[in-house]
Structure formats: structure tokens, C-alpha cells
Amino acid sequence: MITVLRIGHRINRDKRITTHVALVARAFGADKIIITTKDEKIKENITSICKKFGGNFQIETGADPKKIIKQWNGTIIHLTMYGDNLKKSISKIDKNDDLLIIVGAEKVPPYFYENADFNISVGNQPHSEVAALAIFLDRYLNGKWLTEQFNGKIEIIPSNKRKKVLSKKEKSD
């Protein structure tokens, strides 16, 4: 089980990027996202995408991050440009453990660095929580997300020429 903990979300400023963090979490193999700020709009948006495109991805908003971290029974990872080498760190993670992956927005308080089992960098240049999460999940899961079946109401058929989409009715015909 992989859960992403999105901290520091500012409702107006970060709505698009937090939505992208949630979509990347879902598409790249995580099971759940917890956004510490209460935001019903993002919750509705992601839930509606899940209904359409399938899978069992869960979203919760308005949670106390310190409580989650204190109660977490598994490995806690914090993605930060100041962290240790990605490849080296992934090799040390127990693959049977539930993962909590923390990504920030604005400046991340020391508490998160201190309470993570692993502070991991995806390169040591500043970029984005969306990119950091995507690359981390891809490397951690060895690309497994690419073949995951979501069994949604609609399914996109890869095409070099045009948009090709199957609806649930067509899928069952």
C-alpha cells in the first residue's frame, strides 16, 4: 500500500498542482492521497476522475500530518532536493512495508525531515513535487504502473492517429 501525504497545500495558489500530484499518484501506482488542508473541490474532482477512469484510488483531505506520521506503521519517505541519492535510498526500502511518501508545497518544516525514515532527492536541483513523485514511483515500482488495469467506465485505446475511447457499454459488447 502506497499513500502520498501532500503537505502545505494552499487552496487558491496550489489547486492545479495539488490536483496534478493526486493524478500522478493515482496513475503511477499509489493507492491513496492525503491532503492535509481540507479541500472538498479537489476531493470531488479526483473522485469524479476515479469514477470515470476506474481503479480504487482513495482521497482524504483535512488531516493532521503529525498524527498520521505518529501513527504510521511502515516506512516514511520525504521527497526533497536536499535528500539522499534516489537509487541508493530505494535499494534500502523494505518492499513489504506500507509507504507514506511526503511531498511539500512551500517551505517544509524541519519536523518532516526529522521524522522521515528516508529523505530522498530526485536529483539535487529544485523542480516540482509532481515530477519528483512521478519519478520516485516509477523507479520504486520498476515501471509496473505502465501495465496496471484500471477497468474504468471509459478506456483510452492508444493510437498514433486520433482519439480512440471505449465506453463501458462498448467494452461489454
- Choose the binding region for ligand SAM from 31-39, 65-73, 105-113, 154-162 (rule: CB under 6 A): 105-113
Report the alpha-carbon distance of residue 67 to residue 83 in Å, rounded.
23
Q: Rule CB under 6 A: say whether 127 interacts with ligand SAM.
A: yes
Please name the residue ranges forming H helices in 29-102. Answer: 40-53, 65-71, 86-90
Q: Rule CB under 6 A: say whether 116 interacts with ligand SAM.
A: no
- Choose the binding region for ligand SAM from 50-58, 77-85, 88-96, 159-167 (rule: CB under 6 A): 77-85
Report the alpha-carbon distance of residue 132 to residue 128 in Å, rounded.
6
Name which of residues 84 to 103 contact ligand SAM (CB under 6 A).
103
| Ramachandran assignment for 6, one of left (phi > 0), alpha (psi -120 to 50 degrees), beta (any other) | beta
Among 32, 65, 129, 140, binds ligand SAM (CB under 6 A): 129
Report the alpha-carbon distance of residue 53 to residue 166 in Å, rounded.
11
| Ramachandran assignment for 112, one of left (phi > 0), alpha (psi -120 to 50 degrees), beta (any other) | alpha
15-27 vs 40-53: helix crossing angle, rounded to 10: 30
Q: Pick between residue 50 and residue 130 the one whose CB is nearest to ligand SAM.
A: 130
Q: Rule CB under 6 A: say whether 80 interacts with ligand SAM.
A: yes
Among 47, 56, 85, 128, binds ligand SAM (CB under 6 A): 128
Q: Pick between residue 50 and residue 77 the one whose CB is nearest to ligand SAM.
A: 77
- Residues at the site binding ligand SAM, with contacts judged by CB under 6 A: 79-81, 103-105, 107-108, 121-123, 125-129, 132
